Structure 1
Amino acid sequence: MIRFAFEVFRLLRPRQWIKNFALFAAILFAGELFDQLIFEKVFVAFFVFCGLSSATYIVNDLFDIKKDRMHPFKRFRPLAGNKISVSAAILTAAILIFISLFVSTTITPAFFIICLVYLSIQFLYSLFLKSLAVVDILAIATGYILRVYAGEFASGFHISVWLLLTTISISLFLAIGKRRSELTLLSANKKNLIQETRESLSRYSERLLDVYASIFAT
């Protein structure tokens, strides 16, 4: 039972929750980080996104289970490594989505809507967007941007144009960096793994991704 609970926890990818700290950007730059009522509301929103993001990671793992088994590192994930059953993963994702969306309705209507938008984009990413070169990068970057807007809608404090532009640049830079690291990793192992595990990577070159990264890093 303890082993199963541990594998479920791994399935949630808690190390990825750090991305959800982007929700605090609005109140941080508005100087309201230490306002208790506002902070508590954004804090709840943070955990809502932790639940939603974990659910989307599970869904993505379900779609990629066969490809992950061929990947040099992803094959050790709970689903790919047969540590968690498909039915248990589906149930976990469904529970996370239900609870997260329910809690989101208690924050603000706009926050609930952006949660639905985030879920929709992530599901589309798992279905087919991740197979489309450039579009996959935009989809990943959109996830970061929506987190910042989620913090705005949860707190009621608007982000400035400069913060928005900075968020877009950083989001694209991180998304490109993700693809760059994947391409480098798979190229160092077996060339045919690129096509087998991530179709869109076969349409990139390391030089092209470096150019993209340099554009959004400046």
Structure 2
Amino acid sequence: MTEAMKEILKLIRVKQWVKNGFLFAALIFAQHLFDAAFALKALLAFIVFSFTASGVYVVNDIFDAARDRLHPEKKLRPVASGKISAGTAWLVAVVMFIASSVMLWLLPLKFALVIGLYVVMNVLYSWRLKRVVILDVLVLASFYVMRVVAGAFAIDVPLSSWIILCTLFLSILLGAAKRKAELKLQERGATRAVLLEYNETLIDKLLTVAAGGAVLSYALYSVSPRTLELFRTDGLIYTTIFVVYGIFRYLYLLDKKSLGENPTHLLLTDGGTILNLLLWILSVIVIIYFRP
């Protein structure tokens, strides 16, 4: 692979595509994981969302290049470092948007509306909302919720309000953790003005509420009458331990290892987190699909 291709892959943030795994939540919990038609449509939705998100990342990098050059880590991004010109970056963004738009015709209209909302909210976030304390974290959280909703819309299945609520709290946790990690980078040249409105005490409170909300909403989902009727088992409650451990592990790494600004990197590199996630997915599938 050439250096130019490596920089392009870095530009479109392929590693960030792991976030779009949230789209498969509806496929799994709607009991269609082993249905080829549903699975293929969910996979197509994943690709469309990934291409769209990549296009958004590239455009943001173009506009934020000057600011990124002042950041200890973001200065290494392809556009900020000058390894890819703004013109080339624009071309890549256009290609990503065109590719996602073509594939979008194969998916339901309501999925397309979520994609449109995602793009609009990203524009608003980059333009103004990321500078508004608290609201910036909520907007970041909404992006994950949109992924879950989009996954349900893509295969046209209902989604439990408890799952949406759990995703919201988990996303707030990730957003608040990102801000806490950025606070620790301030002395090294971090550039977000909104960080002046935050302190570790406030963020720790947000993390506590979000962590508790995520665990509670997941536990309530697992024992709700609708869930018990749908899956005909009460075994899902036992998977809560993986949710608890995953959150505690993340908070530990955030506090002790100064990680958290990039949850995707954490997910791809921390052995404990990876193993826990795989065990959770496996246990959920076994309980839902292979119950006695």
TM-score with structure 1 length normalisation? Answer: 0.93
Distance in 2, Cα, partners of 1:137 & 1:63: 21
Q: Any runs of at least 4 consecutive aligned residues in structure 1 with deviations exceeding 6 A, and if so which?
A: none
What's the CA shift string for 1:149-203, capped at 9, x where partnerless?
Answer: 000100111111111111111111111111111111224x2xxx34xx1111111
Instruction: Kindly tell me the number of residue pairs found equivalent between the two proteins.
Output: 212
CA contact (8 A) 1:105 1:111 kept: no
SS in 2 for 1:70: coil
Aligned: 1:181 with 2:181: yes
Distance in 1, Cα, partners of 2:23 & 2:62: 27
Distance in 2, Cα, partners of 1:90 & 1:117: 21
Aligned: 1:69 with 2:69: yes
For residue 51 of structure 2, what is the aligned residue in structure 1?
Answer: 51
Could you list the runs of 5+ residues in structure 1 that have no partner in the other structure? none
For residue 226 of structure 2, what is the aligned residue in structure 1?
Answer: none
Distance in 2, Cα, partners of 1:139 & 1:115: 15
Aligned: 1:39 with 2:39: yes
SS in 1 for 2:81: coil
Distance in 2, Cα, partners of 1:107 & 1:89: 27
Aligned: 1:215 with 2:209: yes
Aligned: 1:102 with 2:102: yes
Could you list the runs of 5+ residues in structure 2 that have no partner in the other structure? 213-292
Distance in 1, Cα, partners of 2:101 & 2:127: 21
For residue 137 of structure 1, what is the aligned residue in structure 2?
Answer: 137
Distance in 2, Cα, partners of 1:15 & 1:210: 27
Letter matched to residue 208 of structure 2 = S
Letter matched to residue 153 of structure 1 = F
Letter matched to residue 206 of structure 1 = E
Q: Which of these two proteins has the greater Rg computed from alpha carbons?
A: 2
CA contact (8 A) 1:133 1:204 kept: yes
Letter matched to residue 201 of structure 1 = L
Distance in 1, Cα, partners of 2:203 & 2:63: 25
Letter matched to residue 126 of structure 1 = S
SS in 2 for 1:179: helix
Structure with greater contact order relative to length (CA < 8 Å, sep ≥ 6): 1
CA contact (8 A) 1:59 1:126 kept: no
CA contact (8 A) 1:56 1:122 kept: yes
Letter matched to residue 208 of structure 1 = L
Letter matched to residue 158 of structure 1 = P
CA contact (8 A) 1:63 1:127 kept: no
Distance in 1, Cα, partners of 2:177 & 2:80: 24
For residue 197 of structure 2, what is the aligned residue in structure 1?
Answer: 203
* CA-CA distance at 1:105 after TM superposition: 2.0
TM-score with structure 2 length normalisation? Answer: 0.70
